[in-house]
A and B are shown apart, each in its own frame.
Chain A
Amino acid sequence: MTTLLQQIANGIALGATIGLIALGYTMVYGIIQLINFAHGEVFMVGAFGGLATYRWLLPEGIRGDWYLSLPLMLLGGVVVAVTVALLMERFAYRPLRNAPRLAPLITALGVSIVLQEAIRLWFPDADAAQPFPKAFLDAQIKIGPISLRATQLLLIAVSIVLSVLLQTYVNRSKMGRAMRATAQDPDTARLMGINPNRVIVLTFAIGAALAGVAGVLYGIDITNVDNAIGFQNGIFAFTAAVLGGIGSLRGAVIGAFVIGLIKTLGGQYMPGGTQYDYVWIFVVLILVLVFRPQGLFGEAERVRA
């Protein structure tokens, strides 16, 4: 029983990370129907942005004070992630806006490889896993029989707060309305005076910012990062977004928690153990795409004729 509860707690913590990434997938897909395969790498780049901030920008004096260093690292991670995302939107995706859909997908694969390799080649020592600073309370917190790291709790809290904020922003603000309008019908939105490019750029930026935050917090929690964390977590996040109904913000977050649980519980209780936990996620991905492609919260697509 304790194991079960513990694995559930771990799953939720993992889900929190995945959720922050999944929001970026789902938003971009909602607006321009692009599976931004490279979004996982934005998360990875964000983590390295935070690491770089810590290593080279933070003065010795404040490195120990997490309440100073953590916000600055988050800022660094977000800046790097957003910059990368905007560059790739501008130079890789935008020129292909009207191309057949195969083209942007393959471009996204290319961008993904480029980002991984760029970090490996040019981030000092990053051809091996890099230790990540413990820029938060290094403590285990006991809740009943469950024991969670403080960093896991931080991830969960930040993830929930940011998702709620994002939901509110998209639903309430003027720009959020513009985003929803563009997602519904870009042509009409344009006629209504909405500049689709601005909306798309903003979407990429918000998604990247969330991924950047996730990257830094993930690094702090895991305590070491390499250039492969993006691909794997990116796939998890994509699965979450699909599971929740791609295009739906709430769906992405809920889907992420489900995925987190599948991974930890599957690793615990399914045959093959943690060696196969990855496989269960793909099985779920396939089942969802095949039998309920609109996800748990999406609407069925109508055939066009």
Chain B
Amino acid sequence: MTALAQDTAHPVLEARGVTMVFGGLTALNDVSLRLDRGKIVGLIGPNGAGKTTFFNCLTGLYTPTKGTVLLSGRRLAPDPSEVTIAGVARTFQNIRLFPNMTVLENVLVGRHCRMRQGPIASLLHGPSFRREENAAKQRSRELLAFVGLASAEDEIARNLPYGDQRRLEIARALATDPKVLLLDEPTAGMNPQETEAARQLIFAIRDTGVSVVVIEHDIKFIFGLCDSVSVLVQGELLVEGRPEVVRADPRVIEAYLGKPPEEIESETRGAAEQDKREKP
């Protein structure tokens, strides 16, 4: 942590000129993003703008055709497990828990990369093994309490209500001790109360020193949450800046069908819900 504190020259996460081409299709074209320590950055854009593709490039699930991703000034290898070990954790748009493990086990899997047990220790279950195991369990329980799932630790993940599954995914991501947390549509399919709870949770995460990038359809949610907002349209970065600036930008309004902000909100909200229903 001290090393990190000294490293104020670099943004905690930075994407430079990320381009992603599938076959002949350019999904992302020269997208850059900068996330400073302790900040929350929002990523918005219409469906198919390439937001999730961008996340996949950031987390190493895709290898960008061009461009680099830097964590505290150091290049991230395009490998999901390496990226996570380096300190970037994520959630998925269409929730990807380990559906048949318990809630606690899901979070324990998140602790995986911060644990040291090798095969031999796992075979023998010696004292140091048990110490580490207990520490991991304790940390996982803290995180479950943090996201409000303390009472559900023995449930099978797939049996959790939808909103709880999203929160569990966040707890699991936090268990990897990330410096940066990437949230892909954390409020999709949530009702207003749940959305507000999610907003408070993200603030709380930020307050623990984790920097956050959020993809959202819900523009109101994003503008009430983020320190900075980037707008992606058709794979290109359209605007980037403080929420009030972005909100007023004519190009953004144009991109959202040329309608005033209030309508945009209701439109995108509807789209988000529809998107959720149709999701494969």
Pairing of A with B:
yes
Which residues in A have some Cβ–Cβ distance to B below 8 Å?
187, 302-303, 305
In the assembled complex, the Cα of A74 lies from the Cα of B220 at a distance in Å of 69
Q: Residue on B with the closest CB to A304? A: B280
Q: Taking the complex as formed, is B81 at the interface, i.e. its CB lies under 8 A from any CB of chain A? A: no
Contact B22 A302 (CB under 8 A): yes
Task: List 10 A–B pairs whose Cβ atoms lie within 8 Å, in order of A's numbering.
Answer: A187-B280, A302-B22, A303-B56, A303-B61, A303-B62, A305-B52, A305-B55, A305-B56, A305-B61, A305-B92
Task: List the B side residues contacting A187 at CB < 8 Å.
Answer: 280
Q: Residue on B with the closest CB to A303? A: B61
Task: List the A side residues contacting B52 at CB < 8 Å.
Answer: 305
B51-93: contact bitstring with A at CB < 8 Å (1 yes, 0 no)? 0100110000110000000000000000000000000000010
In the assembled complex, the Cα of A187 lies from the Cα of B279 at a distance in Å of 12
- Chain B residues 23 to 66 lying within 8 A of chain A, measured CB to CB, are 52, 55-56, 61-62
Task: List the A side residues contacting B280 at CB < 8 Å.
Answer: 187
Task: List the B side residues contacting A302 at CB < 8 Å.
Answer: 22
Taking each of A302, A303, A305, which has the highest tally of chain B beta carbons within 10 Å of its own beta carbon? Answer: A305
Q: Residue on A with the closest CB to B52? A: A305
Chain B nearest Cβ from A102, distance in angstroms: 14
Q: Residue on A with the closest CB to B56? A: A305
Task: List the B side residues contacting A303 at CB < 8 Å.
Answer: 56, 61-62
Rank and list the top 8 A-B pairs by shortest CB-CB distance, nearest first: A305-B56, A305-B61, A303-B61, A305-B52, A302-B22, A305-B92, A303-B62, A187-B280
Told that A302-B22, A305-B52, A305-B92 touch, could you supply 7 new A-B pairs with CB distance under 8 A? A187-B280, A303-B56, A303-B61, A303-B62, A305-B55, A305-B56, A305-B61
Task: List the A side residues contacting B92 at CB < 8 Å.
Answer: 305
Chain B nearest Cβ from A184, distance in angstroms: 13
In the assembled complex, the Cα of A302 lies from the Cα of B56 at a distance in Å of 12
Q: Residue on B with the closest CB to A299? A: B23
Chain B nearest Cβ from A300, distance in angstroms: 9
In the assembled complex, the Cα of A303 lies from the Cα of B55 at a distance in Å of 13
In the assembled complex, the Cα of A305 lies from the Cα of B55 at a distance in Å of 10
Task: List the B side residues contacting A305 at CB < 8 Å.
Answer: 52, 55-56, 61, 92
Q: Residue on A with the closest CB to B93? A: A305
In the assembled complex, the Cα of A273 lies from the Cα of B32 at a distance in Å of 60
Q: Residue on B with the closest CB to A302? A: B22
Task: List the A side residues contacting B62 at CB < 8 Å.
Answer: 303
Q: Residue on B with the closest CB to A185? A: B280
Task: List the A side residues contacting B22 at CB < 8 Å.
Answer: 302
Chain A nearest Cβ from B39, distance in angstroms: 25
Q: Residue on A with the closest CB to B55? A: A305
Chain A nearest Cβ from B43, distance in angstroms: 15
